[in-house]
Amino acid sequence: MVSPTFIFYLTLTLFLFLNVSTSTKTILVDKSGKGQFTTVQKAIDSIPSNNKQWTIILLNAGFYKERVTILKDKQYIILKGESRLSTVIEWDDSGNSLESSTFKLYASNFMARNITFKNTYDLVLVNDVVKKITWAPAALLYADKASFYECGFVGIQDTLTDLVGRHFFDGCYVEGAIDFIWGYGQSLYQNSEIHVNGKSIGNWNAYITAQGRESDTQTNGFVFKYCKVTGTGTAYLGRAYRNHSAVVYFRSTFDNIIAPEGWDIWKQAGKEKYITYAEVECKGPGANMSKRVKWEKTLTAEQQKKFVDQKLFLNQDGWIEEQRLHL
């Protein structure tokens, strides 16, 4: 007997084949002038408003020192570099958790591969003095259906402003120290490295996440599946940005940098029963849960599935498979 799941994906594949053009347009960006454009932003600006065709913006290796914004009417864009180590979009700005971002995404239906987004503020010394630690995002995601493959996000505070929408990260690298994955996003981080740059903030504690779910009727949250947490210093897995904050680590590995308590209630004291923070089958020297906060949740099998099952949590309409046809 054919399973309902098989029928669903067969129907989806046929629908996509018949209704969505698999053809793509390619634009080449090269800093030295060997492409159609020398900057990423000019390539994006060349795409017509209300575009319906998947367009690959291919970046030759290089460090692109520019701020990049993709507005709401520029959908169906793929940014593709050579590798996250050799293809970098970077900028130096700070002071605002939204406006200071190096990369800003407002358009749905977006993909990126083999690129690092970096905010260089706080990452360098000026006259041998560390700059003041403040908001300095590398990327702002304010759009639905965005996926990232083998990408990097590097900063110190608010590195990845995972603000609104469904987002999928596979094989990525995220580096920071203070609330460096934060926002209201509904996001799955899979097979990725979360790197705590604790040495950049001295004796302060680091905080990996600051997730902002505000109601038990909302479905957003951050899920880390098969990830590894590495780095230096002492780090909390998350602190509660809003009173229904939700973060789950599933079968992930922790270096010996996790604070024994694991989690911080921050500004939500008294709201512990509403917060969903959980570790499921994690391992490594930082995964000892004997001294974790008492209000950390133990999820039932059904609750786990709602977070960990990609289709239930993130991919209800098959958008990830649809995007991969064009990658």
DSSP letters for 236-291:
ESEE-SSTT-EEEEES-EE-TTB-TT-EE-TT-TT-GGG-EEEEES-BSTT---TT
Residues 103/141, Cβ–Cβ less than 8 Å: no
Residue 317 appears among annotated catalytic residues: no
Strands 103-105 and 139-142 come out as parallel
Question: Looking at residue 324, what DSSP letter applies?
Answer: H
166: nearest Cα among 221, 246, 114: 221
Which conformational region is residue 233 in: left (phi greater than 0), alpha (psi within -120 to 50 degrees), or beta? Answer: left
158 is catalytic: yes
The contacts of residue 163 (CB under 8 Å, 6+ apart) are 98, 140, 141, 142, 183, 184, 185
Count of CB atoms situated within 10 Å of the CB of 262: 22
Catalytic residue selected from 122, 158, 162, 170: 158
Cα 212 to Cα 214: distance, rounded to the nearest angstrom: 6
For residue 246, which amino acid is it?
A
- Pair of tokens at residue 159: 């590195």
Catalytic entry in 122, 170, 179, 264: 179
CA-closest candidate to residue 207, choices 159, 246, 153:
159
State how beta strands 206-211 and 193-197 pair: unpaired
Q: Residue 165 in 3-state DSSP?
A: coil
Query: Which residues participate in catalysis according to the annotation?
Result: 158, 179
